[in-house]
Amino acid sequence: MRRTDSQNAAPREITATVGALATPALLLDKDRLDRNLARLSSRMAAAGVVLRPHMKTAKSIEVAQRAYPSGPGPITVSTLAEAEYFAQYGFRDVTYAVGVAPHTAERAMRLRKAGVDLKVLLDSPEQAAMLGTAARAAGVTPSAFIEIDCDGHRGGLTATDPKLIAVAAALAEAGVTLAGILTHAGESYSLCSSDALVAAAENERAVAVAAAETLRAAGHECPVVSVGSTPTAHFAEGLTGVTEMRAGVYMFFDLVMHGVGVCTTDDIAISVLATVIGTKPEKGWILVDAGWMALSRDRGTAAQRVDQGYGLVCDLSGQLYPNLIVAQASQEHGILAIRSRSAAALPHIPIGAKVRILPNHACATASQHELYNVISAGSDAIEAQWPRMRGW
């Protein structure tokens, strides 16, 4: 079996089984990936809403092609490096969902000049003017979303903010096409009951639609009403007035999403393979060679009802050890221990044995690795290695 490499480097022989892989290493279960992709795409198809997957989680052309087996479709990105990377593989309908600044406006306009239908995001007249300047310099017509704040999470304007009309006017004055409005229910990550998630999804929808209606009432066309977060995408009971859904972590899922209640641990498609390098039974510890460099420093579950430490530990086949977590992490060391207030016994895992660790936050853990070692459920074979892109 040979390495697939999107960068067209020379293929090379790779380890053929998980058990023989050097550690730490990132595993991706493609059956779980496919199931997660199908779950949300069929849900959005039933709702008649365009799904625009966020590629910031996977950052992999092979994963994008898995989401779009019949050819490139609309995507969301978090960096212009992602936009440039996916564009070279034919993904040309791209929304850059981070507020635009002068240097990114110029770079985004170069991509538009190259034929990429790249939409940018902003929430101020200053950004509209900057974008207009960059677009005139590049000789292109830009397209931008106005960012709406639906839950106080981050940036954007509230649906009732008078600045909303001022920004739309500034876009018109700067010669920028208004693509529509875009919002993200980021606060939904802190919820854990289905009632609260259904309510967060309805709030995200209602605020987005109200903002679009405000713009339309002022005479601005607002074709796209874009919403999205993995929790609200899976709990929305109605999407009337919404035209587009964005989500990213749903492809892989993780322990934070499990804590929110969007997935089971059996849905989590990535795990970090590690090797036992020491045992301290007198302390209730097992040391492994996966520390924060392999797992990331993300402690997203610390704020949830069940704190998973730096991750939940499974055996080589992916079966969970009861209540065994990565209790501590330094750069290249992880300390496995039974979670506090559990009566479970520390399993005997000898030095040299391998374990698999389910991550708190898939976006953060995957970003610590160069590539995905692709596996299928119930098989020890590594079927491919899919590179990840990185940087800005």
Position among 83, 215, 287, 382 found at the interface with a copy of itself (CB under 8 A): 287
Position among 60, 104, 229, 230 found at the interface with a copy of itself (CB under 8 A): 104
Walk across the sheet containing 93-99 and list its strands.
Answer: 50-51, 244-245, 224-227, 177-183, 143-148, 117-122, 93-99, 75-77
Binding piece for a copy of itself, criterion CB under 8 A, among 18-26, 30-38, 202-210, 340-348? 18-26
Binding piece for a copy of itself, criterion CB under 8 A, among 98-106, 134-142, 166-174, 218-226? 98-106
Alpha-carbon distance 348 to 353, whole Å? 10
365 Rama sector, left if φ>0, alpha if ψ -120 to 50, beta otherwise: alpha
Q: Which of residues 296-355 bind a copy of itself (CB under 8 A)?
A: 296-299, 330-333, 335, 350-352
Among residues 49 and 253, whose Cβ is nearest to a copy of itself?
253
Among residues 69 and 350, whose Cβ is nearest to a copy of itself?
350
Among residues 150 and 364, whose Cβ is nearest to a copy of itself?
364
Contact call for residue 170 and a copy of itself (CB under 8 A)? no
Q: What is the 3-state secondary structure (H, E, C) of 338-377?
A: ECCCCCCCCCCCCCCCEEEEECCCHHHHHCCCCEEEEECC
Instruction: Write the DSSP assignment of 311-337 as a string of letters.
Output: -EEE-TTSPEEEEEEEEEE-SS-EEEE
Among residues 371 and 375, whose Cβ is nearest to a copy of itself?
371
Binding piece for a copy of itself, criterion CB under 8 A, among 131-139, 193-201, 213-221, 273-281? 273-281
Contact call for residue 136 and a copy of itself (CB under 8 A)? no
Taking CB under 8 A as the rule, which mask of x and - marks residues 360-379 in contact with a copy of itself?
A: -x-xx--xx-x---------
Contact call for residue 124 and a copy of itself (CB under 8 A)? yes
Alpha-carbon distance 345 to 164, whole Å? 58
Instruction: For the CB of residue 96, give the shortest distance to a copy of itself in the complex, in Å.
Output: 10
Q: Which of residues 175-214 bind a copy of itself (CB under 8 A)?
A: 186
**DSSP class of residue 261?**
T
Rounded to a whole number of angstroms, the distance between the first and last alpha carbons of the chain is 32
Kindly report the number of other CB atoms within 10 A of residue 8's CB atom: 6
Among residues 50 and 98, whose Cβ is nearest to a copy of itself?
98
Position among 6, 41, 133, 279 found at the interface with a copy of itself (CB under 8 A): 279
Among residues 101 and 114, whose Cβ is nearest to a copy of itself?
101
CA atoms within 13 A on the CB side of 181: 33
Position among 1, 14, 47, 101 found at the interface with a copy of itself (CB under 8 A): 101
**DSSP class of residue 302?**
G
Is residue 117 classed as helix, strand or coil in its secondary structure? strand
Contact call for residue 130 and a copy of itself (CB under 8 A)? yes
Q: Going by DSSP bridges, is the β-strand pair 320-329/25-29 parallel, antiparallel, or unpaired?
A: unpaired
Contact call for residue 24 and a copy of itself (CB under 8 A)? yes
Amino acid at 119: K
CA atoms within 13 A on the CB side of 217: 10
Residue of 295, 357, 366 whose CA lies nearest to 332: 295
Contact call for residue 162 and a copy of itself (CB under 8 A)? no
Token pair for 173:
């004055």
Position among 30, 107, 112, 356 found at the interface with a copy of itself (CB under 8 A): 107
Kindly report the number of other CB atoms within 10 A of residue 340's CB atom: 10
Instruction: For the CB of residue 373, give the shortest distance to a copy of itself in the complex, in Å.
Output: 13
Residue of 71, 116, 79 whose CA lies nearest to 94: 116
Binding piece for a copy of itself, criterion CB under 8 A, among 102-110, 210-218, 261-269, 338-346? 102-110
Binding residues for a copy of itself, per CB under 8 A? 22-25, 56, 78-79, 98-104, 107, 123-124, 126-127, 130, 152, 154-155, 186, 275-280, 283, 287, 289, 292-294, 296-299, 330-333, 335, 350-352, 361, 363-364, 367-368, 370, 390-392
